[in-house]
Amino acid sequence: MQEDIELVGAASDGVSDWLAGLGVVAAAAAIRKGDISSESYTAALLQRARTHSDLNAFITIDEEAALNAARNADKARAAGSTSPLLGVPLAVKDSYLTKGLRTTLGVQNLDSFVPSEDAGVVSAMKEAGGIVFGKNNLVEMSYGLTGNNSPYGQVRNPHSRNHISGGSSSGAGASVAARIVPAALGGDTVGSIRVPASLCGVVGFKPTTGRWPRNGVAPISHTLDTTGVLARSVDDCMLVDQIVTKAETVASSDHSDLKGVRLAYAPRQYLDLIEPDIEAHFKDTIYRLRQVGAEVMEVDLGEDFSSITERSTWSIFFHETMEAISEFLLHNDVPTTFDEIYNGLKSGLKDAWGHVVLPSGPGFSPEAYQTSVSVDRPEIQRRFAEALARSGATALLFPTTPSTAPRIERQSKFLIAGHEVSDLVLARHTITASIAGLPGVTIPTGVSGNGLPFGLELDGEQGRDRSLLQLARRVEASVGMLSTPV
Catalytic residue numbers read 93, 168, 192
DSSP annotation string for 319-370? HHHHHHHHHHHHHTT-SS-HHHHHHTS-HHHHHHHHHHTSTTSTT--HHHHH
Q: What angle do CA 32, 33, 34 make, to 5 degrees?
A: 90
Spatial contact of 258 and 294, defined as CB atoms under 8 Å apart: yes
Residue 80 CB: number of other CB atoms within 10 A? 6
**Which regions of 412-452 does DSSP assign to beta strands (E)?**
413-416, 419-422, 440-447
Cβ-contact 394, 461 below 8 angstroms: yes
CB 282 within 8 A of CB 399: yes
Q: What is the dihedral of CA 48, 53, 55, 59, to 10 degrees?
A: 110
Q: Does an H or E element contain 15, and which?
A: helix 13-20
Q: How would you label 282-299 residue by residue, b for 16+ Cβ within 10 Å and e otherwise?
A: beebbeebeebebbbbeb
Cα 15 from Cα 41, distance rounded (Å): 10
3-state secondary structure of 16: helix
CA-closest candidate to residue 363, choices 371, 351, 377 = 351
Distances (CA, A) of 85 to 70, 133, 236: 12, 13, 11
393/390 Cα distance (integer angstroms): 8
Secondary structure letter of residue 389 according to DSSP: H
Cis peptide before 116 (omega within 30 of 0): no
Cβ distance 45 to 89 under 8 Å?
yes
DSSP state of 249: P
**Closest residue by Cα to residue 446 from 264, 236, 278, 204:** 278
Phi/psi of residue 41, each to 5°? -65, -50
* Distance of alpha carbon 131 from alpha carbon 69, whole angstroms: 6
Contact 97, 118 (CB under 8 A): yes
Under 8 Å between Cβ of 373 and 223: yes
